[in-house]
Structure 1
Amino acid sequence: MSRSIGLPAPDCGARRAAARARRDAVSPLADHRGDGVTLINGEETAYGMSFPANYHKGLPHDVNGAVHPPSYHAMVRVLTGQETGAVETLPMGANRHGAGTAEDPIRLTVPGNETAPPSDRLGYRKLTSPFTGHVFENQGADAAALGFQPAPRLDTPELAAEMAELYAMALLRDVPFTAITDGTGPGVAAVVSALDSMPYFRPGFQADTDAEQMRYEMRGRITSGADLFRGSTPGSKTGPWLSQFMIAGNRNDRATFQALDGTPAQGNGAGPGFRGVRANFGSNDGFVLFGTQVIDQRSIVAKPGIDYMTNWASWLDCQNGVDFNNLDVFLDRRRYLTTPRDIATYVHYDALYQAYLVACLLMLAEGRLFPKDRGLPETSSRTRSAFASFGGPHVLSLVTEVATRALKAVWRQKWMHHRRARPEAVAGLLTLHANDPDRIADESLRSTIGRLHSMIPADILSRVAAHNTAQNASTNAAVRIKPRPAGEIPAGLPAIADATNYLLPMAFPEGSPTHPAYGAGHATVAGACVTVLKAFFEMYGDDGRAERMWPLPALVPTFRPDLSGNADEGGELVPAPGSPMLTVQGELNKLAANVAIARNMAGVHYYTDYSESVRLGERVAVSILEEQLSMYPEPVSMSFTSFDGDRVRVSGNGDTAGVQIFADGQKVPAEVWYARYGG
Structure 2
Amino acid sequence: MKKNHVNWGRSSPLERILSAFLIRVKDAASYLIIPPKPHRCNGDEQRYPSKIGNYSKGLPHNELGEVELFAYQAFLTALNTGKPSDFEQIPLGGAVKLTDPQSAYAYELAGPDSHQITLEAPPSFSSAREASEMAELYWRALARDVPFAEYDTNPITQEAAADLSTYSDFGGPKVNGRVTTDTLFRGDKSGDVLGPFLSQFMWKDVPYGADTVVQQYRTTVPKDDHLTDYKEWLKIQNGMLPSTSNVFDTAKRYIRDGRGLSEYVHEDFPYMAVLNACLILLSYGPDALDQNNPYLQSLTQTGFSTFGAPHILDFTARAARAALEAAWFQKFLVHRRLRPEEFGGRVHNTKIGAAQYPIHEDLLSSRVLTEIDKQYGSFLLPVAYAEGCATHPAFPGGHASFASAGVTMLKAFFNESFVIPNPVQASADGLSLIPRGSLLNNW
| TM-score between the two structures when normalised by the length of structure 2 | 0.95
- For residues 192-247 of structure 1, the C-alpha deviation after alignment (integer angstroms, 9 at most, x for no partner) is 1111111224xxxxxxxxxxxxx668999543211101112232111111110100
1:245 and 2:201 aligned:
yes
Pick the aligned partner of 2:237 from 302, 315, 319.
319
* Distance in 2 between residues matched to 1:354 and 1:219, nearest whole Å: 33
5+ residue gaps, structure 1, are 97-123, 202-214, 250-287, 441-445, 470-500, 540-547, 560-568, 588-679
Deviation at 1:581, TM superposition (A): 3.3
Relative to structure 1, the CA distance from residue 41 to residue 5 in structure 2 (aligned partners, 3 Å threshold; closer, same or farther) is closer
- For residues 64-109 of structure 1, the C-alpha deviation after alignment (integer angstroms, 9 at most, x for no partner) is 111111110110110221120121122113xx5xxxxxxxxxxxxx
Deviation at 1:456, TM superposition (A): 4.8
* Distance in 2 between residues matched to 1:44 and 1:220, nearest whole Å: 37
For 2:422, give the aligned amino acid.
P
For 2:312, give the aligned amino acid.
V
How many corresponding residue pairs?
Answer: 442
Structure 1 contact 167–504 (Cα < 8 Å) conserved: yes
1:553 and 2:404 aligned:
no
Quick check: which has more Rg, 1 or 2?
A: 1
Pick the aligned partner of 1:428 from 340, 345, 350.
345
Structure 2 contact 132–362 (Cα < 8 Å) conserved: no
Map of 2:374 onto structure 1: 466
Structure 2 contact 232–242 (Cα < 8 Å) conserved: no
1:398 and 2:315 aligned:
yes
Deviation at 1:13, TM superposition (A): 1.2
Map of 1:234 onto structure 2: 190
Pick the aligned partner of 2:415 from 534, 538, 541.
538
5+ residue gaps, structure 2, are none
Larger fraction in strand: 1
Structure 1 runs of 4+ aligned residues shifted over 6 Å read 216-220
* Distance in 1 between residues matched to 2:112 and 2:189, nearest whole Å: 23
1:145 and 2:116 aligned:
yes
Structure 2 contact 336–394 (Cα < 8 Å) conserved: yes
Map of 1:194 onto structure 2: 163
Structure 1 contact 92–126 (Cα < 8 Å) conserved: yes
* Distance in 1 between residues matched to 2:43 and 2:150, nearest whole Å: 41
* Distance in 1 between residues matched to 2:60 and 2:146, nearest whole Å: 37
* Aligned residue runs from structure 1 range 126-275, under 5 A: 126-180=97-151, 183-201=152-170, 221-249=177-205
* Distance in 1 between residues matched to 2:175 and 2:83, nearest whole Å: 40
More displaced, 548-557 or 460-469? 548-557
* Distance in 2 between residues matched to 1:74 and 1:83, nearest whole Å: 12
For 2:431, give the aligned amino acid.
G
1:521 and 2:398 aligned:
yes
Structure 2 contact 220–248 (Cα < 8 Å) conserved: yes
Structure 2 contact 167–362 (Cα < 8 Å) conserved: no
Structure 2 contact 255–430 (Cα < 8 Å) conserved: yes
Map of 1:292 onto structure 2: 210
* Distance in 2 between residues matched to 1:549 and 1:194, nearest whole Å: 37
Structure 2 contact 168–362 (Cα < 8 Å) conserved: no
Relative to structure 1, the CA distance from residue 555 to residue 34 in structure 2 (aligned partners, 3 Å threshold; closer, same or farther) is farther
Relative to structure 1, the CA distance from residue 428 to residue 220 in structure 2 (aligned partners, 3 Å threshold; closer, same or farther) is farther
For 1:231, give the aligned amino acid.
G
For 1:571, give the aligned amino acid.
L
Helix, strand or coil for the counterpart of 1:125? Answer: coil
* Distance in 2 between residues matched to 1:325 and 1:34, nearest whole Å: 50
Deviation at 1:400, TM superposition (A): 0.6
For 1:464, give the aligned amino acid.
I
Pick the aligned partner of 1:572 from 423, 432, 437.
432
Map of 1:581 onto structure 2: 440
For 1:403, give the aligned amino acid.
A
Map of 2:76 onto structure 1: 76
Structure 2 contact 351–364 (Cα < 8 Å) conserved: no
* Aligned residue runs from structure 1 range 597-616, under 5 A: none
* Distance in 2 between residues matched to 1:24 and 1:454, nearest whole Å: 53
For 1:337, give the aligned amino acid.
I
Deviation at 1:60, TM superposition (A): 0.9
* Distance in 1 between residues matched to 2:269 and 2:176, nearest whole Å: 31
- For residues 510-563 of structure 1, the C-alpha deviation after alignment (integer angstroms, 9 at most, x for no partner) is 111001011111100011000000000122xxxxxxxx242312211112xxxx
* Distance in 1 between residues matched to 2:73 and 2:199, nearest whole Å: 43
Structure 1 contact 549–581 (Cα < 8 Å) conserved: no
Helix, strand or coil for the counterpart of 1:556? Answer: strand
Map of 1:91 onto structure 2: 91
* Distance in 2 between residues matched to 1:517 and 1:425, nearest whole Å: 10
Deviation at 1:376, TM superposition (A): 2.3
Map of 1:663 onto structure 2: none
Helix, strand or coil for the counterpart of 1:381? Answer: coil
Map of 2:264 onto structure 1: 346
For 2:134, give the aligned amino acid.
M
Relative to structure 1, the CA distance from residue 310 to residue 216 in structure 2 (aligned partners, 3 Å threshold; closer, same or farther) is closer
Relative to structure 1, the CA distance from residue 468 to residue 221 in structure 2 (aligned partners, 3 Å threshold; closer, same or farther) is farther
1:13 and 2:2 aligned:
no
Helix, strand or coil for the counterpart of 1:152? Answer: coil
- For residues 591-632 of structure 1, the C-alpha deviation after alignment (integer angstroms, 9 at most, x for no partner) is xxxxxxxxxxxxxxxxxxxxxxxxxxxxxxxxxxxxxxxxxx
Pick the aligned partner of 2:248 from 330, 333, 336.
330
Map of 1:273 onto structure 2: none
* Distance in 2 between residues matched to 1:162 and 1:519, nearest whole Å: 14
Structure 1 contact 310–505 (Cα < 8 Å) conserved: yes
Q: CA RMSD in A?
A: 2.1
Relative to structure 1, the CA distance from residue 570 to residue 447 in structure 2 (aligned partners, 3 Å threshold; closer, same or farther) is closer
* Distance in 1 between residues matched to 2:286 and 2:409, nearest whole Å: 19
For 2:385, give the aligned amino acid.
F
Pick the aligned partner of 2:306 from 356, 372, 389.
389
- For residues 554-579 of structure 1, the C-alpha deviation after alignment (integer angstroms, 9 at most, x for no partner) is 211112xxxxxxxxx211111237x4
Helix, strand or coil for the counterpart of 2:213? Answer: strand
Deviation at 1:365, TM superposition (A): 1.3
- For residues 21-79 of structure 1, the C-alpha deviation after alignment (integer angstroms, 9 at most, x for no partner) is 1111111221465624211111102122x100101111111111111111101101102
* Distance in 2 between residues matched to 1:221 and 1:31, nearest whole Å: 45
Identity in percent: 32
| TM-score between the two structures when normalised by the length of structure 1 | 0.63
Deviation at 1:325, TM superposition (A): 9.8
Deviation at 1:467, TM superposition (A): 1.9
Relative to structure 1, the CA distance from residue 222 to residue 31 in structure 2 (aligned partners, 3 Å threshold; closer, same or farther) is farther
Deviation at 1:374, TM superposition (A): 2.1
Relative to structure 1, the CA distance from residue 3 to residue 420 in structure 2 (aligned partners, 3 Å threshold; closer, same or farther) is closer
Map of 1:472 onto structure 2: none
* Distance in 1 between residues matched to 2:182 and 2:25, nearest whole Å: 51
